[in-house]
Amino acid sequence: MRSMKKILAGLLGLAMLGSFTACASDAGNEPANTTAAAGGDTTTAAAAESKLPSEEGEITIKISWWGGDSRHEATQNAINAFMAKNPNIKVETNFGAWSGWEDAMSTSFYAGTAPDVNQVNWNWIENYSGDGSVFLDMNTVSEYFDLSTYSESALNQCVVADELQAIPVSMTGRIFYWNKSTFDKAGIDTPKSLADLMAAGETFKTKLGDDYYPLALGEYDRAILMVYYLESVYGKAWVENGKLNYTEEEIAKGLEFIESLEAAHVTPTIATILGDGAESLDKNPKWMDGKYAGIFEWDSSASKFGKALNEGQEFIVGDYFKDMGSYQGGFAKVSLAFAISENTKYPAECAMLLNFLLNEPEGTAIMASERGIPLSTAALETCKSQNLLNEMVAEANGKVLAWVDYPLDTQFENAALKGNPDGVYYDVFGGLSYDEYTPAEAAKILAEGVTEVLNG
């Protein structure tokens, strides 16, 4: 089954690559997109000469992003508002689900065919533009994008090769979310501790049936949860000073923890989840129906899971587990960012678009908290003054930032590790779930894979 999964994922990646070449279609099974047209300060060394607007009259720029349906709708609405305000600028959009997205994007970055503006993961800056050749230095368009609305520390997160290569949108971390209705159906409270969660597995099985699980975890979810567990137990970052900070024996303990979740009927096996036949968990009928009653998800991405639930179900933010260990494990990171392609013909117009989406009241009111709680002080003020912040996102983000103690390694999300289906995480956690590896064998593979990536 794992081989078939790799074949299907590869075909999806090829299909997406075609969509990027055309820059006019979506990815995965997201709704097809059509193009609509309608009538500062710096933080690095001296900025290069500002880019001037085009004198061509009407121009076309292209933007890409991934996400769920609610993010797609908000972003398209904001882009339509931008085009209405700037009738000489036509914006073509390319969007889809996460599955296979990075593979297609990495190809387009290397080939120089990426859209003019791109939503990017934080680590993509270093991975794809470590020398500053792929993404534009935002200091060169500071006349059109107001950098003063961001703190220096926030912007510095996106400085690579002494260039500000992207604008961070928000900070995010992983936290538990629960379908309270399913727990009510089982006659128990949502978990407040690891002990609660472990006990819930048996309760779900006996009271609701074999198809019900209190938590659903894919391979990458398991990797992040394992690190949260290890940091809670051992009190040290996963990676420190560019080196893996855990022994194979310690990692094996983390993998045994993940195995224990399957054994206790807390989470379904990878084979079960793949057998559901859904492209992503939010589109899985078992999630929509409440049979899978929990997730461990980024606070900036959880809205799509709540909106995917069938009517009458209550989706709530959970808590970190104090009995996971003696330390506060877990990490926060720049949730995502927007970058302008270095080779765009229209840098000023791209910066104007981003400023509208991320800083200006009209655009930020539409975008609201679809990508997390805004780091832009201007956007945050707009959202607060108009009561636009998603209360659940704000609650989760507050819990994340108050709890986590550890930094995210810049290579944690490297495609060689995170890529589906060939990444190390998918090999390790899929193989462990399929009983192809013992925890010791999987720990060795994981340690060697992480070390190889860290060593470049």
Cβ atoms of 298 and 172 closer than 8 Å = yes
- Radius of gyration in angstroms for the set of CA atoms belonging to the chain, rounded to a whole number: 22
Q: What separation in angstroms does the CA of 354 have from each of 79, 158, 276, 389?
A: 10, 15, 38, 20
Q: Which token pair is 289?
A: 């129906």
Q: Give me the mean pLDDT over the 5-14 stretch.
A: 39
* Angstrom distance (rounded) from CA 103 to CA 314: 35
φ and ψ of 445, to 5 deg: -65, -45
The answer, yes or no, to whether residue 22 has pLDDT greater than 50, is no
pLDDT of the residue at 99? 86
* Sign of CA pseudo-dihedral 410, 416, 421, 427: negative
Residue scoring higher pLDDT (149 or 23): 149
Confidence of residue 161 (pLDDT cuts 50, 70, 90): very high
Confidence of residue 6 (pLDDT cuts 50, 70, 90): very low
162-214 residue pLDDT tens:
999 999 999 999 999 999 999 999 999 999 999 999 999 999 999 999 999 99
pLDDT of the residue at 300? 85
Q: Give me the mean pLDDT over the 54-66 stretch.
A: 91
Tally the residues of the chain: 456
Q: Give me the mean pLDDT over the 418-434 stretch.
A: 95
The answer, yes or no, to whether residue 19 has pLDDT greater than 50, is no
- State how beta strands 59-66 and 89-96 pair: parallel
The answer, yes or no, to whether residue 147 has pLDDT greater than 80, is yes
279-304 residue pLDDT tens:
999 999 999 999 999 999 999 889 89
How far from chain centre, in Å, is Cα 59?
31
* pTM for this predicted structure: 0.74
Residue scoring higher pLDDT (166 or 32): 166
pLDDT of the residue at 441? 98
205-250 residue pLDDT tens:
999 999 999 999 999 999 999 999 999 999 999 999 999 999 999 9
Residue scoring higher pLDDT (1 or 170): 170
The answer, yes or no, to whether residue 28 has pLDDT greater than 80, is no
Identify the burial level of 305 via C-beta atoms within 10 angstroms of its C-beta, where 0-12 means exposed, 13-18 middle and 19 or more buried: buried
76-102 residue pLDDT tens:
999 999 999 999 999 999 999 988 899
pLDDT of the residue at 140? 98
pLDDT of the residue at 36? 36
Residue scoring higher pLDDT (401 or 187): 187
Q: Give me the mean pLDDT over the 270-285 stretch.
A: 96
- Cα(first)–Cα(last) distance of the chain, in Å? 31
